[in-house]
Structure 1
């Protein structure tokens, strides 16, 4: 009764090809780095599957049968095609024509997305880029294939996700130039005594400095809650309010305001997040590498070092 053809794998075909090429079980075993008994076992299994002796000895030499010649010919073709299949396909961004969706929030739309857009329009002119809101459901949007990439301060230790950190951003405080505390560095006690504008991010995400204050059993005096950093400069200007934002964001929302370091010692990490589904997709790999390189190039020398590896 013939053997099960589903038991034949590419490793077994490789053994057959080497025995055919070298005309020797012993030399094939040496080339493959296995015992001769392993080669004999594999050839015997193939004999059962193909119902053919495959090799016969004549005049002390090993000769392939015609059936073996046909199988080896097809085996070489199959293994070559399989190697081509598993090799990363060539990718040309100039010809890429599909939609790539990035989920992010206000911070990333102001600081990171514009440079990505300009780069893609130049290097991948046929690629359609869509930016959607991440809020607090960015990971779910990845899993539902609503987004291809998540960009922002998102941490989640889940085997479905990969993450690559771009950089860390420390916090600063925004005050009106006429504020009594605008002339000197803020102590933690000074900071806690001020009237704060708290950015709630719609209740979907909590700033790292708030988490650190809770760890210290400290509370802010919150005078105003807003869902987004958009328009903070107009709320703080001419008032006694203080707003705490990441330092890089302050460059865009602190027009006319006084900026001082936040006395809470912590920072926010901006990361790329994606799923296992797109981990090896050529377009996705190219876009992720592009975003990382753009942000590495623009990272200030005095920024705290960030992790460079990919984590899951």
Structure 2
């Protein structure tokens, strides 16, 4: 490779060769390439020096290829075809032909709420693919991206490092969830009943306090926190048949998994909303597969939220983001 004069290699020279093979005339080849005849002759001389062969010899009004030129013709044609079709043409992605992996980072909440519908939609579009849901949260998502273990992530990410972009999917609210056959309280639950009821919370770190407690403390109140669990599934089983209340994300509370046998109502104290976002690498935003995957995630989540609210008789318009795809730049 080091002995090749790469500085002398020019794509235009391959086009010159191809035009001469087709036209067998310097003037007609120049016309095909929209060049002057002198420029075409100059390119031919460069080719001859580069390949160390006359390549074309004039016989009357025809440029006849040498054996070396005839040997090179199909190879040069293959190179030009590859450049035209595989490099210069806009890339495309056909989901039905894709047999690779789709790797999505999800936390416990987003996997439980959206994992099944994402699986169904992606398998319908790309039945030959393999889908991997990776546990991803604010503590490890950067490493997963750096190691190429996820294509995108869905969750809550307050600060993003350079190189990642975000797209808001929807605005999440909070609800109280409890078994009212045990509590037997009026709805929506009053602040008095709320404070008197033992409470549980999702706590991956074991911390038994949240912004709710700070808000209550500012008002001079304190709730009765008795349980922290890292798993939503555990809380669902604990809430049924017990005097226990949990404040959790509304989408989680309204899934059939939780809503069955449990009562949902607004909390009596203000709880800050938060965004559920999709994040991906900025440099991958324009890749056809990533554009398809991003669109699928947005559509599936939007439709699933609408379905959840339709079953509850509530509008989803205030939750679902109407923004477009994340854009690099």
Query: Is contact 1:246–1:268 with CA below 8 Å preserved after alignment?
Result: no
Deviation of 1:200 after TM superposition, in Å, equals 0.4
Inter-partner Cα distance in structure 1 for 2:119 and 2:323: 23
Q: What residue is the counterpart of 2:27 in the other structure?
A: none
Structure 2 unaligned spans of 5+: 1-5, 13-29, 48-75, 307-314
1:284 matches 2:290? yes
* SS at 2:83 equivalent: helix
Q: How many residues align?
A: 257
Give yes or no for contact 1:153–1:271 (8 Å, CA) kept in 2.
Answer: yes
1:269 equivalent to 2:275? Answer yes
Q: CA deviation at 1:193?
A: 4.8
For 2:215 and 2:192, locate their aligned partners in 1 and report how far apart those are by CA, in whole Å: 16
Segments of structure 1 that go 5 or more residues without pairing to the other structure are 11-16, 24-54, 56-62
Q: 1:177 aligns with which of 170, 177, 180?
A: 180
**RMSD between aligned alpha carbons?**
3.8
Q: Tell me, in whole angstroms, the C-alpha distance in 1 between the residues paired with 2:294 and 2:7.
A: 42
Aligned equivalent of 2:211:
211
The match for 1:124 is: 126
User: Is contact 1:104-1:138 (8 Å) kept?
Assistant: no
Partner of 1:231: 234
Match of 1:159 in 2: 162
Structure 2 counterpart of 1:308, from 310, 313, 323 = 323
Whether 1:254 aligns to 2:234 is no
The answer as to 2:150 corresponding to 1:147 is: yes
What is the rounded CA distance, in whole Å, between the counterparts of 2:175 and 2:151 in structure 1? 31
1:64 corresponds, among 39, 56, 79, to 39
TM-superposed CA distance for 1:82, in Å, is: 7.5
Residue 94 of structure 1, CA deviation: 1.2
Match of 1:51 in 2: none
Q: Provide the rounded CA distance (Å) in 2 between the counterparts of 1:248 and 1:294.
A: 14
Aligned residue number for residue 91 of structure 2: 89
Q: CA deviation digits over 1:42-81, x for unaligned, max 9?
A: xxxxxxxxxxxxx9xxxxxxx5361146779x9xx98x93
- Shift of the 184–236 alpha-carbon distance from structure 1 to 2, 3 Å rule, reads same
User: 2:177–2:265: 8 Å Cα contact kept in structure 1?
Assistant: yes
Out of 300-309 and 134-143, give the one that drifted further.
300-309
Show the counterpart of 1:199: 202
Given the superposition, is the C-alpha separation of residues 67 and 114 from structure 1 closer, same or farther in structure 2, using an over 3 Å criterion? same
Map 1:94-105 onto structure 2 (within 5 A). Answer: 94-105=96-107
TM-score normalized by the length of structure 2 = 0.65
Give SS of 1:225's match.
Answer: strand
Per-residue deviation, 1:161: 0.8
How has the CA–CA distance of structure 1 residues 165 and 86 changed in structure 2, closer, same or farther, with 3 Å as cutoff?
farther
Structure 2 counterpart SS, 1:88: coil
Q: Distance in 2 between matches of 1:217 and 1:95?
A: 57
Indicate the SS of the match to 1:90: coil
Distance 1:98 1:21, change over 3 A: same
Relative distance call for 1:120 and 1:180 in structure 2 (3 A) is closer
